[in-house]
Structures are given as C-alpha cells and as structure tokens.
C-alpha cells in the first residue's frame, strides 16, 4: 500500500505508546457502509440539499412534513446499513485497551449508531441519534417502528408532531456528552481522528483540545481536512482499510 503502510506502522506505534486513547469520528467512517457523507463529492447528502435548508429547527418549523420525510429517508438508509470493518476495528481497539489497562473513549458526530452495532460499548454521541424521535414541543422520546412513517410529520399518540432526536445547526449539544467528550479529549495522550472534515463546532473542538494538550493526533482520511494541520500522522486511506491494519499492528 506504499506510503500508507509506513503511516499505519507509525500510527500503531503511537497508539501502543499511549495510556489514554480517544477516538473522534465523523460521517466518513460510515461511508463504506453506504451512508452518504455531508460534504463528499457529488454523492454527498448536501450536494442535493442545502444543509441550512433542512438541518435546522427553523426548517422543521417552516415545513415539518418535508424535513421529517428527508430524515425518515436517511433513517431507512441507516437501518439498511451494516457496520463496516472500520467500525469493527474500533471495537477491537476498545477490547485491546481494556485488556491492557488503557483508557478508551469513542466520541462520534454520527447519528447512525453503527459504532454500537459494530461492537463499540463506550460511545459518546455528540449529535444524538436518528433512530430516536421525540415530541417537537414536549421533547418526550416516543418509540417508533423501523418502517417508514405513514405520514409526515409523524405524530405521537396525542397528535404532537415528532422530530428526530438529533442536534440541528443552531442547537446546543447534549451537555453531559459534550462535557465527557471534552474531558476525554483534553486528557488523552493519543487521538485517532477518523472520517471527519473537522468543520463543525463545538464537536471539532475535541480535536483542538487533544492537540492543545500535546496528544499525538492521528488522522485517518483519504483527503486533506481542516484538522490535518493538527495531525502528528496522516493516514491517507479509507477507514475500512486503514483501521483494521492499524489495530492489527497495535495488537502485534
């Protein structure tokens, strides 16, 4: 694999030398599960939709039917998706950390729950989860069937419109998750940054915290990102290929 081989071996060395490992993931780690990313090329979700048109509370208030139908379309994609070897490698890394007395935290911006379905246990979801829906006004979480909703917006038994249990632009992140993610980022000595453009805050601030604390930052991404200049090591390869190789090298 040429250059990525050398970076994979170096990444494994840094992870083996770490006592506290944090992983920060974005939409790119689910790309090889068939879940479109936001900014990637012409297949990116946002290439067809203006994010500010749909991923905001104002958009839902303006057109709850259209916004909830778009999210239900994405929910169906997620339900059909399967964890890929990248997700599974991070679950194996978590096992290795537990087995060797290291601390491990997985922080994700993703709302697809593929990390948990791939075996990860300690997952901090900064932007919520698209499989969860709640009352637009009450915030009450309402169990929903996997099937596509019959009408849009979906409603609770009492008729209250439901919205996806995710964080939209302009909304605060869940405070407990944000505090836990920032604490893990500020105290880790190695951070694996996988599949994110590093463009969305305050989530991407986790990378800044690790970098500022002097942690080794390893970026796994086929492309340059806004976080690349903070990386100690650049692994320019797709996650489903690079992560299994890195974790195999870590476990020797």
199 binds ligand BV8 per the rule CB under 6 A: yes
Q: For ligand BV8, which is the closer residue by CB, 73 or 169?
A: 169
Taken in order 29, 101, 11, 190, is the CA torsion positive or negative? positive
**According to CB under 6 A, which residues from 103 to 122 bind ligand BV8?**
109, 111
Cα–Cα distance measured from residue 94 to residue 175, given in angstroms and rounded to the nearest whole number: 24
Which is nearest to 11 in space by CA: 186, 252, 230, 190?
A: 190
Active site annotation includes 229: no
Peptide bond into 202 cis (omega under 30): yes
Instruction: Name the one range near ligand BV8 by CB under 6 A: 34-42, 87-95, 136-144, 176-184.
Output: 34-42
Q: Which two tokens stand for residue 251?
A: 């476990």
124 binds ligand BV8 per the rule CB under 6 A: no
Closest approach, Cβ 26 to ligand BV8, in A, equals 3
Instruction: Name the one range near ligand BV8 by CB under 6 A: 21-29, 94-102, 148-156, 208-216.
Output: 21-29
Which is nearest to 12 in space by CA: 103, 93, 91, 86?
A: 93
Binding flags for ligand BV8, 125-164, as an x/- string (CB under 6 A): --x-------------------------------------
Cα–Cα distance measured from residue 95 to residue 181, given in angstroms and rounded to the nearest whole number: 20
The catalytic residues are 127
């Amino acid at each position: 694999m040429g250059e990525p081989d050398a970076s994979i071996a170096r990444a494994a060395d840094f992870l083996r030398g770490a006592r506290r490992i944090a992983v920060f993931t974005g939409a790119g780690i689910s790309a090889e599960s068939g879940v479109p990313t936001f900014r990637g090329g012409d297949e990116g979700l946002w290439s067809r939709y203006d994010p500010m048109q749909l991923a905001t509370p104002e958009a839902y208030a303006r057109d709850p039917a259209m916004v909830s139908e778009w999210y239900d379309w994405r929910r169906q994609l997620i339900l059909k998706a399967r964890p890929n070897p990248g997700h599974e490698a991070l679950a194996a890394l978590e096992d290795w950390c537990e087995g060797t007395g290291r601390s491990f935290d997985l922080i994700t911006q993703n709302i697809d729950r593929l990390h948990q379905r791939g075996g990860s246990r300690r997952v901090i979801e900064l932007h919520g989860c698209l499989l969860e829906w709640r009352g637009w006004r009450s915030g009450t979480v309402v169990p929903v069937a996997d099937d596509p909703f019959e009408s849009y917006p979906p409603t609770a038994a009492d008729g209250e419109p439901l919205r996806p249990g995710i964080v939209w632009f302009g909304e605060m992140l869940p405070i407990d998750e944000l505090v836990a993610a920032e604490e893990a980022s500020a105290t880790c000595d190695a951070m694996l940054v996988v599949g994110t453009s590093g463009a969305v805050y305050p989530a991407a601030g986790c990378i800044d915290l690790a970098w500022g604390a002097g942690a080794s930052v390893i970026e796994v991404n086929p492309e340059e990102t806004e976080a690349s200049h903070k990386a100690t090591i650049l692994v320019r390869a797709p996650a489903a290929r690079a992560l299994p190789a890195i974790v195999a090298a870590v476990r020797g």
